[in-house]
């Protein structure tokens, strides 16, 4: 459905996307993860022609977005990172204008808008100005807008950033429903758990290239298998001594604590009981561990 080969986007001398290779198949929910500035939104912009690539190849539905962005846009819906709603108009007016913009037949517009407002639990806000909506309601409304054209491909650029857990779960439910009905979904998110819940496959991007790819389970298995014990920095000296004598433990630290990774839970339990250390937390490795490993823990100057 989307194929990128050696895809490049340069802004002046700076390559925001720097030789990206990926394939997104029909019917899958595909995740695009990566730190701030990794090039996710730039890639998304290139898929429907708002950002022009400077190198490589890109095909969406078999079309080149440089020349056939109209055909592509007709079949895709986008929840953009910024809401871009007209604040002076009402919810209903915003959606009707968008219907006209994307060519929904005039006699179908009202029905389609009302159905989708109902679907996103926004019908009660239909005649309110945008300015009177909360952040979560605006985000749901951008979902409505993305679905007005009945898209085969739905692109979600950080759809749930800043939303409370209840609204986030509601949107996850909608994404799963659309996915199960056959819609292809591309999702960017900074919530690793969200990616684990929703994505069949994902890539972790860093500095404009793919740093890792696979299903969430495969990525964890490949890059951060096992368990993590998190210990208080108060035990720093003792833990350093333990790790010195047993090099099989891997150790990282940040201001939130000391992280020890082991292949098995038994190994971790033995480590803290034998040394009389109480862990702050013990958990299986997750996608966040993979993300930190593949992207480096430091904030890049470019973020």
Ligand X SMILES: Nc1ncnc2c1ncn2[C@@H]1O[C@H](COP(=O)(O)OP(=O)(O)OP(=O)(O)O)[C@@H](O)[C@H]1O
Q: Which of residues 36, 246, 275, 297 is near ligand X by CB under 6 A?
A: 36
Q: Are strands 29-33 and 184-188 parallel, antiparallel or unpaired?
A: parallel
Torsion of CA 243, 244, 247, 253, to 10 degrees: 50
Q: Near Mg ion by CB under 5 A, which window of 41-49, 51-59, 101-109, 201-209?
A: 41-49
Least distance to ligand X, CB of residue 297, Å = 16
Cα 102 to Cα 69, 113, 234: the distances in Å are: 13, 13, 59
- Asked if 228 and 285 touch (Cβ cutoff 8 Å), the reply is yes
Binding at 214: pick from ligand X, Mg ion, none (beta carbon under 5-8 Å per type):
none
- The burial class, CB within 10 Å (0-12 / 13-18 / 19+), for 7 is buried
**Of 111 and 193, which CB lies nearer to ligand X in the complex structure?**
193
31 binds ligand X per the rule CB under 6 A: no
Residue nearest to Mg ion (CB): 41
Q: Which of residues 38, 76, 116, 260 is near ligand X by CB under 6 A?
A: 38
The dihedral built from the CA positions of residue 126, 48, 189 and 284, taken in this order, carries a sign that is: positive
DSSP letter for each residue of 198-217:
H-SEEEEEETTEEEEEE-HH
Q: Near ligand X by CB under 6 A, which window of 39-47, 114-122, 175-183, 277-285?
A: 39-47
Q: Which of 125, 120, 176 is nearest to 147 (CA)?
A: 120
41 binds Mg ion per the rule CB under 5 A: yes
Q: Where are the beta strands (DSSP E) in 111-180?
A: 153-157
The contact mask relative to ligand X for 75-104 (x = CB under 6 A, - = no) is ------x-----------------------
Least distance to ligand X, CB of residue 173, Å = 24
DSSP state of 132: G
Q: Near ligand X by CB under 6 A, which window of 40-48, 111-119, 168-176, 288-296?
A: 40-48
Binding at 279: pick from Mg ion, ligand X, none (beta carbon under 5-8 Å per type):
none
**Of 113 and 187, which CB lies nearer to Mg ion in the complex structure?**
187
Q: Which of 73, 1, 294, 41 is nearest to 161 (CA)?
A: 41
What are the phi and psi torsion angles at 52 (to 5°)? -90, 125
94 binds Mg ion per the rule CB under 5 A: no
Binding to ligand X (CB under 6 A) within 9-28 occurs at 11, 16
Q: Which of residues 18, 22, 40, 291 is near ligand X by CB under 6 A?
A: 40
Torsion of CA 179, 7, 47, 130, to 10 degrees: 90
**Of 157 and 196, which CB lies nearer to ligand X in the complex structure?**
157
**Of 31 and 34, which CB lies nearer to ligand X in the complex structure?**
34
**CB within 8 A of 253, min separation 6: which ones?**
233, 236, 259
- Asked if 161 and 190 touch (Cβ cutoff 8 Å), the reply is yes
Binding at 77: pick from ligand X, Mg ion, none (beta carbon under 5-8 Å per type):
none
Q: How many residues bind ligand X (CB under 6 A)?
A: 12
Least distance to ligand X, CB of residue 211, Å = 12
- Residues in the site for Mg ion, rule: CB under 5 A? 40-41, 81
């Amino acid at each position: 459905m989307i194929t990128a080969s050696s895809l490049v986007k340069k802004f002046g001398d700076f390559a925001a996307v720097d030789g990206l290779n990926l394939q997104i198949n029909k019917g899958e929910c595909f995740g695009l993860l990566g730190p701030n500035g990794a090039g996710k939104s730039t890639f998304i912009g290139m898929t429907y022609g708002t950002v022009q690539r400077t190198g490589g190849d890109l095909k969406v539905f078999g079309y080149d977005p440089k020349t056939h962005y109209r055909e592509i846009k007709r079949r895709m819906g986008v929840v953009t990172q910024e809401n871009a709603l007209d604040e002076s108009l009402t919810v209903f007016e915003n959606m009707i204008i968008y219907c006209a913009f994307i060519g929904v037949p005039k006699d179908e517009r009202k029905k389609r808008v009302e159905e989708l407002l109902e679907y996103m639990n926004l019908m009660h806000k239909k005649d309110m100005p945008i300015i009177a909506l909360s952040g979560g309601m605006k985000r749901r409304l951008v979902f409505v807008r993305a679905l007005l054209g009945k898209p085969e491909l739905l692109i979600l650029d950080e759809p749930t950033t800043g939303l409370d857990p209840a609204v986030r779960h509601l949107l996850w439910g909608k994404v799963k429903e659309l996915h199960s009905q056959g819609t292809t979904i591309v999702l960017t998110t900074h919530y690793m758990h969200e990616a684990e819940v929703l994505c069949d496959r994902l890539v972790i991007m860093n500095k404009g290239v793919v740093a890792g790819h696979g299903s969430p389970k495969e990525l964890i298995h490949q890059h951060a298998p096992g368990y993590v014990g998190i210990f208080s920095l108060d035990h720093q000296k003792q833990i350093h001594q333990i790790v010195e004598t047993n090099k099989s433990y891997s150790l990282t630290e940040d201001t939130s604590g000391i992280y020890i990774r082991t292949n098995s839970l038994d190994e971790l339990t033995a480590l803290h009981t034998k040394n009389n250390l109480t862990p702050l937390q013990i958990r299986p490795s997750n996608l966040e561990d993979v993300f930190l490993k593949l992207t480096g823990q430091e904030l890049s100057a470019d973020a």
